[in-house]
Amino acid sequence: MSFYSLIFGDTLDNLFTRYAWRFLFLTVGIFFLLDLILSFLNEFEDLSEFYSFNKILLFLAFTSVDAVFDIFPLSAIVSTIICMGAISDSGELIAARVSGKKLSRIIFAVLKPVIFGILLMLVSWQFFIPNLQEAANNLKFEPTSNLSEQKEQWVFKNDRFSKVTDKGTSKEVKIYDLDEKGNVDSIVVSKDIEIAENEWVIKEVRDYKEDISKSDFIWEDAPKLAMNYSMKGLKHMSLTDNYYYWQSINEVADRNKVGYEFWKKMLEPISLLCLIIFALAISLRAIGRNKSVDRFVLGILIAFGFNLLIKIFGNISLILGWSAFWGILLSSLILLYFGIRIIRRV
């Protein structure tokens, strides 16, 4: 079998893939319409002189991409189960297997739209959703500047402690340099600091003890500040921002929590595919012909059940100090193992 036929399949594979596309579009459309109605009613409660009706419509437009990919996992599970059931009810599944088509090839053909959607979801998380959500928030929330509100963060790197104070419109920094014995060697302060990706440009430097001016300097390979990312919210961060935020946090509890959210996003493709295979196995094994409603309910129950399983494994990993990566991955692989075993008996 050539690589082209393995990926794109034959005529029968393409037929099943077209069925899958139809059911996926239909399911996403139904769930998105329901979500849009509920979101509109929720936003309509916030209608005000500043937040007008036109802004509500723009807000819903900006957040529509995020809404689509929020419901995509559930839609993918439900549509795949219904599609496979429809193929079985029509007799095409039996005909394909009698003609020598392996069940694994049929499942792969049905999963192609889901795989494409997963890739599109990852691209959107990285490049589109963060900017669209920021634009939506700017529409809904009137910009305000509270100069009395300050945020402080301590960071440490290369024998240097720093306290950064964010006043909203400006940042101040106090830097403690340590000697070889770990004692404070010098303290400098600055009210003019530019924080780039890997360096801090510190100007108008003054010696804290002697209150004299010192030369401007650049702190290369400087630590990353969590306050640069925390205002965006974990859900709408890009994957790279989520990773950098995770690496910039010093507190263990917060670091584990953000790490869990990062791995949950990164492993979403594997988790979703494993869940769909398990759901298909249960559907083919337990549900007979002409049971579309049962398949629909089964898809929803499995999706919510797996989400609960992920949360349980995630919380256990946080409590025990394990990597969230293994907690999420193992729960997915367990479902994949049982799903493959059931499918082999069908």
What DSSP line would sit under 137-193, residue for residue? HHHHS-----TT--EEEEEE-SSEEEEEEE-SS-EEEEEEEE-TTS-EEEEEEESEE
Taking the C-alpha atoms of residue 205 and residue 186, their distance in angstroms, rounded to an integer, is 12
Please compute the mean of the pLDDT values over residues 172-183 and round it to a whole number. 76
pLDDT digits (tens, 9 = 90+) for 233-284: 667 788 888 887 777 776 666 677 788 888 888 988 998 999 899 888 888 7
Q: How far apart are CA 31 and CA 48, in angstroms?
A: 28
Could you give the 3-state DSSP secondary structure of residue 100? Answer: coil
- Percent helix, strand and coil across the chain, each to the nearest 5: 65, 15, 25
* DSSP-derived 3-state class of residue 235: coil
Q: Report whether 42 contacts 25 (CB < 8 A).
A: no
User: Mean pLDDT lowest for which of 5-19, 41-55, 279-293?
Assistant: 279-293
Roughly what angle, to the nearest 10 degrees, separates helices 252-266 and 324-344? 30
Q: How far is C-alpha 113 from the geometric centre of its chain's CA atoms?
A: 20
Specify whether the CB–CB gap between 23 and 79 falls below 8 A: yes
The whole-chain average pLDDT of the chain stands at 80
What pLDDT score was predicted for residue 145?
43
Chain-centroid distance of CA 331 in Å reads: 18
What are 261's strand-pairing partners?
none
The backbone torsions φ and ψ at residue 177, rounded to the nearest 5 degrees and listed phi first, read -95, 135
Inter-helix orientation angle 252-266/239-248, to 10°: 160
Alpha-carbon gap, residue 104 to 6, rounded angstroms: 12
**pLDDT greater than 60 at residue 288:** no
**Model confidence at 194, in pLDDT bands (50, 70, 90)?**
confident
Residue 57, pLDDT score: 92
More confident call, 165 vs 311: 165
